[in-house]
Amino acid sequence: MLRRPSALVIASVCTFALGQMASAADLPRKAPGPPPPPAYSWTGFYVGANVGGGWGDRDVSYSPNDPLMVFLFTPGEGGAPPPASFRSSGVLGGVQAGYNWQFNPSWLVGIETDFDWSNVKGSASSVGVIETVAPYTATVHERLKWFGTARARLGYLPMPNVLAYVTGGFAYGRIERTGTYTNNSTGPLVGNIGGFSFICSAFATCFAGSQRHTAVGWTLGGGLEYAIDRRWTVKAEYLYVSLDSDSMTETALLFAPGATPASLNANFDRFNFSVARVGANYRF
């Protein structure tokens, strides 16, 4: 025969349960952990500096500017300097600034402008003989004094703090050139045709010229950038820069009284060069 639990037993059970609940309430609670760090964002303005080197192959050719030089440049006369090739190279460095917009976790777009001082330079010499008896040397020197770019960037983020990007846009640069045409023979060289003239003593410079101008063009490249922390990044970058071709006039230093000085052109092809540089940026 089943018996109902007595009121005393029920009261004992309730008292025990309430005691256990009170003991659990008195236990120390575990403090919540720190919130996870916010995701790294590349969006914002930045400024920085860079250093590296530039190099490229160059070609120069020559052309006459007047009837006297046209005659001197004919194959039988031999006064046309042969075309020449040379390599330009040197160090460079400067500053950059830009803005990035990270529009999703893996991609960003941006704009960047930079300005670098440059010591990229080279020279070439061509030799020949006028009428098989009068040797001469034509020499040119060329230097890129500075250059800059204004570029768009498209970047991919394989990791939140690593950026791989391609870039391209407008380029410009200050180019300085000098050139001479020197008589290497033991006798003087004299010419006078159609009112144009030159007089050149033995072992003297017959023609000389110089040029300083700002050339424009385009650039393409790419690079890698790594975020050290939320403010600083470091990068390695390659650019291919192509600036306009141009000609430099070399004019006779001495000429007959009343005549116009004869002249020739040194024609340079496009100033194409590569840039490899490293840099650091500070993000605002």
Q: Could you read off the pLDDT tens digit of each residue along the chain, which spans 284 residues?
A: 444 444 444 344 334 444 554 444 454 555 565 665 567 899 999 999 999 999 999 999 999 999 999 999 999 999 999 999 999 999 999 999 999 999 999 999 999 999 999 999 999 999 999 999 999 999 999 999 999 999 999 999 999 999 999 999 999 999 999 999 999 999 999 999 999 999 999 999 999 999 999 999 999 999 999 999 999 999 999 999 999 999 999 999 999 999 999 999 999 999 999 999 999 999 99
Strands 196-200 and 260-261 come out as parallel
Instruction: Say what the pLDDT of residue 44 is.
Output: 97
Neighbours of 43 (CB within 10 A): 12
Domain assignment present for 272: yes
Rounded to an integer, what is the distance from CA 45 to the centroid of its chain?
A: 21
119 located within any domain:
yes
Residue 90 lies in a domain: yes
Please give the pLDDT value at position 245: 96
Instruction: Give the pLDDT of residue 40.
Output: 82
Residue 22 domain-assigned? no
pLDDT score, position 96: 98
Whether 28 is covered by a domain: the verdict is no
Give Cα 112 distance to the centre of its chain: 12
Q: How many C-beta atoms lie closer than 10 Å to residue 149's C-beta?
A: 24
- Give the C-alpha separation, 140 to 28, whole Å: 86
- Residue 9 in domain: no
Distances (CA, A) of 239 to 89, 148, 193: 14, 11, 48
Collapsing DSSP states into helix, strand and coil, what is residue 131?
coil
The helix/strand/coil state of 108 is strand
Total tally of structural domains belonging to the chain: 1
How far, CA to CA in Å, does 203 sit from each of 59, 72, 242?
Answer: 26, 18, 38
- List the domain range (segments joined by +) for residue 244: 40-283
Residues 6+ positions from 176 with CB-CB distance below 8 Å:
142, 143, 145, 210, 211, 212
Q: What is the CATH number of the domain that holds 143?
A: 2.40.160.20
Contact 105, 52 (CB under 8 A): no
pLDDT the model gives residue 37: 55
Residue 2 lies in a domain: no
CA dist 66 and 263 (Å) reads 7
- Kindly state whether residue 33 falls inside one of the protein's structural domains: no
